[in-house]
Structure 1
Amino acid sequence: MKKFIMCFVGAMLVLSLAACTPTPVKQSESATEPMVEASTGGASDKVPDPNVEPMEIISVYSSNEDATGLNQAMDAVDELTAQSLVDKLIEYGVLEEGTEVLEFDTKDGIGTLDLSKVPSSGTSGELLMLTAIGNTFTENFELDKLKLLVDGKNYSSGHIEHGDNDYLEYNRDYKKL
């Protein structure tokens, strides 16, 4: 019985090695022109450009279509800076054109973002905007919380007033606000 099992295992080993051996590609003897492989147009056909600077992949949060929550989008910037994130938030319609970062600091997991302006809107629009700013900055800069200032003063609008101890934190339930 042992001899039979050993022969069977040996035969399976030979068959598995034979199945894995590469076979040479046969060329047509009648073909006079070299065969050209068709391009699939996929990522495997692309050759990276060695002259292109590397990009930073970021998450950007913006209002969904019916303004009931936020969408998360992956995007890229040349360099991860507070202004590059603000520029993306402008591009995604969260902040107004011309919004600039006056100052951005981080210390012990807490960020302080001072913007030149913040658009005013209704209460639900403000909540979406503040959550989009908070999620975008806390995720990309790996912060615990973010202090939002406008022209050096605590964020304040007709609907939402931030005090000295009010911070924006990452909201995991951003899809439905």
Structure 2
Amino acid sequence: MKKIILFLMSAMLMVSLAACTPTQPKMETTPPDPQVMASTGGASDKVPDPNAEPMEIISVYSMNDDKTGLNQAMDAVDKLTAEALVSKLIEYGVLEEGTTVLKYESADGVGTLDLSAVPKSDDKLIITSIGNTFVENFELSKLKLLVNGKNYSNSSIKLGDNDYLEYEKDYKEIK
């Protein structure tokens, strides 16, 4: 009888130890169907609306907080136009509310932008913000900046007929 009890106790001990032993999770051999997977609510679950209008991704340059250089931000517009870029420059505080595009044209990689106004303060930062934003987004080699049909000028910067804005690579620190 002792042998039977010892045998049963040994069997119960082995079963209880086997139940407590960690096991490796089973690995799936085929990827799950994305439509069958449960939603986790993360960005990876976002499916573009097939009825939404496509957006253009743009770069917008604006002054950094200590006004020693520029920040670059990625944003989106419905359609890449000079008016859309000026609207974003207003939104980012580069241009003043009410600034309009009087004329914009480009040919052979050279753009001409005529604005209704350009702020007079922080002039180097402002014109570099405008220049980088337009040159990069319209893939220009240079940009002519006009204000009300005349070359941009103020007390410290006077652009002549042969002066153009080019992309400033060292935009994070402008002297």
Alignment of structure 1 residues 142-161 onto 2, 5 Å: 142-161=139-158
Q: 1:167 aligns with which of 148, 164, 169?
A: 164
**Cα separation, 2, equivalents of 1:70 and 1:55:** 24
Which residue does the alignment assign to 1:5? none
Q: From the superposition, tell whether residues 96 and 21 of structure 1 become closer, same or farther in structure 2 (CA, over 3 Å).
A: closer
**Cα separation, 2, equivalents of 1:81 and 1:37:** 40
| Post-superposition CA distance 1:11-54 (Å, at most 9, x none) | xxxxxxxx884499xxxxxxxxxxx9763221232222122100
SS in 2 for 1:129: helix
SS in 2 for 1:88: helix
Amino acid at match of 1:103: K
**Cα separation, 2, equivalents of 1:149 and 1:88:** 19
Computing the radius of gyration over CA atoms, which structure comes out larger, 1 or 2? 2
Amino acid at match of 2:148: D
Instruction: State the TM-score, normalized to the length of structure 1.
Output: 0.77
CA-atom RMSD in angstroms: 2.1
Shift of 1:64: 0.4
Alignment of structure 1 residues 16-95 onto 2, 5 Å: 21-22=29-30, 39-95=39-95
Amino acid at match of 1:145: K
**Cα separation, 2, equivalents of 1:98 and 1:23:** 54
Q: From the superposition, tell whether residues 147 and 41 of structure 1 become closer, same or farther in structure 2 (CA, over 3 Å).
A: same
Q: 1:136 aligns with which of 130, 133, 138?
A: 133
Shift of 1:77: 0.1
Q: From the superposition, tell whether residues 39 and 159 of structure 1 become closer, same or farther in structure 2 (CA, over 3 Å).
A: same
Amino acid at match of 2:137: N
Which residue does the alignment assign to 1:104? 104
Shift of 1:78: 0.2
**Cα separation, 2, equivalents of 1:51 and 1:91:** 27
| Post-superposition CA distance 1:122-163 (Å, at most 9, x none) | xxx110001000000000000000000000000011111110
Amino acid at match of 1:175: K
Shift of 1:60: 0.2
**Cα separation, 2, equivalents of 1:23 and 1:43:** 20
SS in 2 for 1:163: coil
The number of residue pairs the alignment matches comes to 145
Q: From the superposition, tell whether residues 174 and 23 of structure 1 become closer, same or farther in structure 2 (CA, over 3 Å).
A: closer
**Cα separation, 2, equivalents of 1:158 and 1:44:** 52
| Post-superposition CA distance 1:109-131 (Å, at most 9, x none) | 1100000111111xxx1100010
SS in 1 for 2:75: strand
Structure 2 portions without partners, runs of 5+: 1-26
Amino acid at match of 1:160: I
| Post-superposition CA distance 1:69-103 (Å, at most 9, x none) | 00000000000000000000000000000000000
